[in-house]
Chain A
Amino acid sequence: MADAYEAINDADDPRWAYGTGFADPLAGVDTRLPGGVDARDLSAYCLMLGDDALVMSHRLQEWCTHAPELEEEVALANIALDLLGQARLLLSRAGAADGSGRDEDALAFLRGPEEFRNVRLAEAENGDFGQEMARLLVFATWRLALLDRLASSRDPVLAAVAAKGVKEVAYHRDYAAGWVVRLGDGTPYSRERVTEGLAAVWPDVAELFVPHEVEARLARAGAGVDPATLREEFDDVIGQVLTAATLTRPSTTVAGSGLGRGGDHTPALTRLLDELQSVARAHQGATW
């Protein structure tokens, strides 16, 4: 081909450089809604679960070049990639369901912080490795219980995304649990770090189990999960890990209610999005 630019932008050319021409992760998937499920609610719900994954993925990506060992760096990047994949499917589903036609990029890169629906646990600034393992344990334990129930959603797309996610997040939870045990039952210093890490993330735990009205409505319609129903499994798993780690459960209780799910975020999310969205906002309409 005479024009090299044309050559690398030809979607039919397998030697793609700037994209494959296949951008939609839900291409060819039947995205019609089941009866009795409100499209706006389903879209809002997909944003909640998608934003949890996107924002948590970004925090884990920030560990690249900062993890204590190469193996942990690879592990955190892998977990971040799984969550990014879940986010792509869920954001695509959100855009398809609400009829706005917004694709995953528009939803990830062109919304302001007040439009994000993730829980605050995901957006908090990174601490040290012990704190990250504490956060990942809490996040993955909660998300695994959620996705496991969502796998029987009446919405076939959510059910399929959840069923796949269960297998992935089970690995994430085991990884974080292993580290919390190793650090808690390790040296006095490692024990101190993970104890402080748990105390730092614990104020964001209560919010995970408070249903937003959208979650409550979709749970009644058989398409979503009421997060309040996850508490027992969460407490049981965290209890197993803390016992093995010879640690005690933090006593902090903060009655979080509809915070992140309602768009009420901390300045940490604004800073995160400033970085996440900088390239897309500087080059509007660019594709990659």
Chain B
Amino acid sequence: MVSPRARSGAPGREASSAWEVARAVLDPELPMLTLDDLGILRGVEETGDGSVVVTVTPTYSGCPAMAAIRADLSAALRAAGYADVEVRTVLTPAWTTDWITEEGRRRLADAGVAPPGQAPARRSGPVPLTLGPVRRSVGCPRCGSGDTEEVSRFGSTACKDLWRCRACREPFEHVKEL
């Protein structure tokens, strides 16, 4: 939780403060993660006259949370005393689930969402077709069993898919590798 703070006069501390405020903003669809945990915060720059430029990158092209994330960043920084906040989008390099931090992965698992494995490395040549079930090991975030199966490659948000644990019989969500 970010508490509003008065702006300090020292430029160095200001830059650091703006970063601290921005990184603590929570993702609206994965509220157990901060934007920093998710790895979408790409830069926080202060120009010294009370203005901040925050750079974020989208997870999926159609992620409807993006506008909310930008609004939340703007609101949090204004509440912290920054009068002029600009939130910029950067598209390249494209976000990958490999940018979710270790802390973020732990928080996902604690909330019952299996964290992603390593994103598939892209070989040269055409994108290979995947037919049939993917042989991947996703541990059940509830009981820890590795005896799990994919139910659907798509889930309640663009970034998640649906799994089922054969051991404890519970369904669970998993952040799919991208």
A residues within 8 Å of B by Cβ?
11-14, 16, 19-23, 25-29, 71, 74-75, 77-79, 81-86, 88-89, 144-145, 148, 156-157, 159-161, 163-168, 170-171, 173-175, 177-178, 181, 233, 236-237, 240-241, 244
**Majority-rule SS of A interface residues:** helix
Q: How far is the CA of A174 from the CA of B120 in the complex (A)?
A: 14
When the two chains form their complex, are residues B71 and A168 in contact, meaning their CB atoms are under 8 A apart? no
On whether A85 and B94 interact (CB within 8 A), knowing A28-B87, A75-B153, A171-B153, the answer reads no
Q: Mark B73-113, 1 if CB is under 8 A from A, else 0.
A: 01110100000001111111111000000000000000000
B residues within 8 Å of A by Cβ?
55, 58, 60-64, 66-68, 70-72, 74-76, 78, 86-95, 126-127, 129-132, 151-156, 158, 162, 176, 178
Q: How far is the CA of A160 from the CA of B90 in the complex (A)?
A: 9
The residues of A that contact B76 with a CB separation of less than 8 Å are 14
Chain A residue nearest to B119 in the complex (CB): A167
* A-B pairs with beta carbons under 8 Å apart, 20 shown: A14-B72, A16-B71, A20-B67, A22-B66, A27-B87, A28-B55, A29-B89, A71-B162, A74-B154, A78-B158, A81-B62, A82-B61, A82-B62, A85-B63, A89-B91, A167-B94, A181-B131, A240-B131, A241-B129, A241-B131
Q: How far is the CA of A157 from the CA of B64 in the complex (A)?
A: 20
The residues of B that contact A23 with a CB separation of less than 8 Å are 67
The residues of B that contact A164 with a CB separation of less than 8 Å are 58, 60-61, 91, 94-95
Q: How far is the CA of A165 from the CA of B95 in the complex (A)?
A: 11
When the two chains form their complex, are residues B61 and A75 in contact, meaning their CB atoms are under 8 A apart? no
When the two chains form their complex, are residues A160 and B91 in contact, meaning their CB atoms are under 8 A apart? yes
- Quote the shortest CB–CB distance from B155 to chain A (angstroms): 7
Q: How far is the CA of A178 from the CA of B155 in the complex (A)?
A: 17
When the two chains form their complex, are residues A21 and B71 in contact, meaning their CB atoms are under 8 A apart? yes
Chain B residue nearest to A75 in the complex (CB): B154
When the two chains form their complex, are residues A11 and B71 in contact, meaning their CB atoms are under 8 A apart? yes
- Quote the shortest CB–CB distance from B118 to chain A (angstroms): 14
When the two chains form their complex, are residues A78 and B55 in contact, meaning their CB atoms are under 8 A apart? no
Chain A residue nearest to B126 in the complex (CB): A233
Q: How far is the CA of A165 from the CA of B91 in the complex (A)?
A: 11
The residues of B that contact A233 with a CB separation of less than 8 Å are 126
When the two chains form their complex, are residues A145 and B153 in contact, meaning their CB atoms are under 8 A apart? no
On whether A157 and B62 interact (CB within 8 A), knowing A11-B71, A22-B67, A144-B127, the answer reads no
The residues of B that contact A13 with a CB separation of less than 8 Å are 75
Given contacts A78-B155, A81-B60, list 13 more A-B pairs with CB under 8 A. Answer: A14-B72, A14-B76, A20-B71, A25-B89, A77-B154, A82-B60, A144-B127, A148-B126, A164-B61, A171-B154, A181-B131, A236-B126, A244-B131
